[in-house]
């Protein structure tokens, strides 16, 4: 018997029909995955289920208050923005309990909160109910959100991209937790995601959404084995990217580091006369040749971004760093600034790394305003036009602002900003983590084309091993600031030697 059904759901915005004639139902204890690209209507459908869209209320506020959290609950995509930063986790989980149990005592609420934290694998927080969201890791915040959602034993849980920003091992833990909750309580789950690898692991059925419509729905195994709609076939084909081959060795070195070590002052050292330090990178050695991509993988906190900042001389480190065979360790800042045009970076979130008050033409031109000030404004603007076309955007767009673009377009703008200086190396820090798979593929193909055309070298940082496999010639695996394994693409993915590498591949469903 169906717990919930949608019949001919339509969502309109003015003249635009955003969701059209959506029909599906979810059975007790079933996990239905709703998949599709960004903008396909997945989250709108979930919000309609929760009656959270403006103008869609068909029941009184009090009636909805009794239903939400009790009969149906939702885990939102980004827990850091969904959790109140001013309230501790004990208060936030307790609030979800109190709303539906007005006669419950404070002691009972505390006991229930501690029990829920245990249920979601946060035993260490059972005595830290006064902790605030910013004091938790991404995986811990997501578990707190799950604890709030299951606090009143709802019949159906809507999980909107619950693992998007998490590394593969934490993803695996969250998926295992959701499966356990389903098994223990009989709760049904609507899982919204663009990650088909996750769907294959956990979902009973799949509903494929494209441009506001359900184009295919059916058993997970059947759809993976025999997809009928061309869009479903396209999504599955994008999952099977072939790994790159190792390029010729002996090419000129673009960047190199020897015995690189990075220490950060401990949190309690800020107001202390005697500072204590934590080592986040231990004796790192690596080198990268021309037109080669080095993938860096590891869990959150392994030191991936710290390594990028150290290589760019944006964090003070010890050891030796060479850019194009020139030591930059003891160079004054004015000389390093001149060399920076050869070493550029593309950040994880283009929306926060692009100035919202400046149009994209000025954003992209900023680098040559600094390094090629001898050129006229017209010449510099011509370079901006050319680089926009290079990354697949129109010069007509240069007067627009970052908020007027999609996530994939903003990432192309970030690449254009780095590329306009004609660098020899671009460091890409999680550049595709927030993008759906089709846009990911477009960005990866763009990077490969640019590499082949200009002989660019990349350091590609990601927790997504499938992306690393598709883009990298060589790979290093970081754990707790140590390189535990390094080698060619095929060596790491086909014949991993270190148990940590094996565990990452298993968590990503890339090895049995």
Going along the chain from its start, the domains and CATH numbers come out as 2-238 (3.40.50.300), 253-507 (3.40.50.300)
Band (pLDDT 50/70/90 cuts) for residue 322 is very high
For the cut 90, the answer to whether the pLDDT of residue 113 exceeds it is: yes
Q: Encode pLDDT of 488-510 as tens digits.
A: 999 999 999 999 999 999 888 77
Predicted confidence at residue 30, as pLDDT, reads: 94
Query: Would you tell me how many other CB atoms lie within 10 Å of the CB of residue 374?
Result: 6
Predicted confidence at residue 502, as pLDDT, reads: 93
Predicted confidence at residue 221, as pLDDT, reads: 94
Beta-bridge mates of residue 16: 13
Q: Encode pLDDT of 347-376 as tens digits.
A: 877 777 889 999 999 999 999 999 998 999
**What is the percentage of the chain residues whose pLDDT exceeds 70?**
92
Cα 208 to Cα 206: distance, rounded to the nearest angstrom:
6
Question: Is 480 strand, coil or helix?
Answer: coil
Predicted confidence at residue 229, as pLDDT, reads: 94
DSSP 39-75: TSSHHHHHHHHTT-STT---S-HHHHHHHBTTTEEEE
Q: Which segments of 164-292 does DSSP mark as H helices, in order? A: 168-185, 196-202, 220-225, 230-238
Residues in the chain, total:
512
**What is the percentage of the chain residues whose pLDDT exceeds 90?**
45
**Structure-model confidence comparison of residues 283 and 46, the more confident one:** 283
Q: Encode pLDDT of 206-259 as tens digits.
A: 999 998 999 999 999 999 999 999 999 988 887 765 556 556 555 689 999 999
205-210 sheet: strands from edge to edge: 72-75, 156-160, 188-193, 31-35, 205-210, 213-219
> How much is the pTM?
0.77
For the cut 80, the answer to whether the pLDDT of residue 266 exceeds it is: no
Burial of 403 (0-12, 13-18, 19+ CB in 10 A): exposed
Q: Encode pLDDT of 55-87 as tens digits.
A: 555 555 566 666 776 788 888 877 777 899 999
**Structure-model confidence comparison of residues 197 and 400, the more confident one:** 400
For the cut 70, the answer to whether the pLDDT of residue 116 exceeds it is: yes
Instruction: For residues 146-151, give the mean pLDDT.
Output: 90
Predicted confidence at residue 41, as pLDDT, reads: 87
For the cut 60, the answer to whether the pLDDT of residue 447 exceeds it is: yes
Predicted confidence at residue 247, as pLDDT, reads: 62
Predicted confidence at residue 461, as pLDDT, reads: 93
Predicted confidence at residue 197, as pLDDT, reads: 80
CA distances for 501 relative to 238, 297, 465, 493, angstroms? 24, 9, 10, 9
Query: Would you tell me how many other CB atoms lie within 10 Å of the CB of residue 338?
Result: 12
Q: End-to-end alpha-carbon separation of the chain, Å?
A: 35
Q: How far is CA 229 from the centre of its chain?
A: 28
**Which residue, 61, 46, 63, 220, is CA-closest to 149?**
46
Q: Encode pLDDT of 28-49 as tens digits.
A: 999 999 998 877 888 888 888 8
Predicted confidence at residue 121, as pLDDT, reads: 85
For the cut 70, the answer to whether the pLDDT of residue 164 exceeds it is: yes
Band (pLDDT 50/70/90 cuts) for residue 274 is low
Query: Would you tell me how many other CB atoms lie within 10 Å of the CB of residue 123?
Result: 11
**CB 79, CB 141: distance < 8 Å:** yes
Question: Is 198 strand, coil or helix?
Answer: helix
Instruction: For residues 465-478, give the mean pLDDT.
Output: 92
């Amino acid at each position: 018997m169906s717990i919930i059904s949608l019949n001919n759901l339509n969502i309109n915005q003015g003249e635009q029909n955003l969701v059209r004639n959506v029909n599906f139902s979810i059975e007790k204890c079933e996990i239905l995955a709703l998949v599709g690209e960004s903008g396909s209507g997945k989250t709108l459908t979930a919000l309609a289920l929760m009656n959270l869209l403006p103008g869609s209320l068909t029941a009184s506020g009090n009636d909805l208050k009794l239903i939400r959290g009790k009969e149906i609950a939702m885990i939102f995509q980004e827990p850091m923005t969904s959790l109140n930063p001013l309230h501790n986790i004990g208060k936030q989980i307790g609030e979800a309990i109190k709303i539906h149990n007005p006669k419950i005592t404070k002691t009972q609420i505390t006991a229930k909160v501690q029990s829920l934290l245990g249920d979601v694998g946060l035993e260490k927080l059972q005595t830290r109910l006064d902790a605030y969201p910013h004091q938790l890791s991404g995986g811990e915040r997501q578990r707190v959100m799950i604890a709030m959602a299951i606090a009143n034993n709802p019949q159906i849980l809507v999980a909107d991209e619950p693992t998007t920003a998490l590394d593969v091992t934490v993803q695996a833990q969250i998926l295992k937790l959701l499966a356990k909750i389903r098994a223990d309580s009989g709760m049904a789950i609507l899982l919204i995601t663009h990650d088909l690898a996750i769907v294959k692991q956990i979902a009973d059925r799949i509903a494929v959404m494209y441009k506001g419509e359900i184009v295919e729905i059916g058993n997970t195994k059947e759809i993976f084995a025999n997809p009928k709609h061309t869009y479903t076939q396209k999504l599955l084909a994008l999952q099977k990217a072939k790994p790159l081959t190792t390029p010729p060795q002996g090419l000129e070195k673009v960047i190199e580091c020897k015995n690189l070590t990075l220490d950060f002052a401990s949190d309690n050292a800020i107001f202390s006369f005697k500072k204590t330090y934590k080592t986040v990178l231990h004796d790192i050695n690596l080198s990268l040749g021309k037109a080669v991509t080095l993938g860096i993988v590891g869990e959150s906190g392994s030191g991936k971004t710290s390594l990028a900042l150290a290589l760019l001389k944006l964090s003070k480190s010890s050891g030796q760093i060479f850019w194009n065979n020139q030591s930059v360790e003891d160079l004054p800042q004015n000389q390093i600034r001149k060399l920076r045009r050869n070493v550029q970076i593309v950040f994880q979130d283009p929306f926060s790394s692009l100035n919202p008050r400046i149009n994209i033409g000025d954003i992209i031109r900023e680098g040559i305003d600094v390094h090629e000030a001898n050129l006229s404004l017209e010449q510099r603007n011509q370079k901006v036009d050319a680089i926009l076309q290079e990354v697949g955007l129109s010069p007509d767009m240069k007067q627009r602002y970052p908020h007027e673009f999609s996530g994939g377009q903003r990432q192309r703008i970030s690449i254009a900003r780095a590329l306009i200086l004609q660098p020899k190396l671009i460091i890409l820090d999680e550049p595709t983590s927030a993008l759906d798979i089709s846009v990911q593929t477009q960005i990866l193909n763009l990077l490969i084309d640019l590499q082949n055309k200009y002989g660019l070298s990349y350091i590609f940082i990601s927790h997504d091993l499938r992306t690393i496999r598709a883009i990298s010639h060589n790979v290093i695996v970081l754990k707790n600031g140590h390189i535990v394994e390094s080698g060619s693409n095929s060596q790491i993915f086909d014949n991993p030697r270190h148990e940590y590498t094996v565990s990452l591949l298993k968590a990503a469903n890339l090895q049995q």
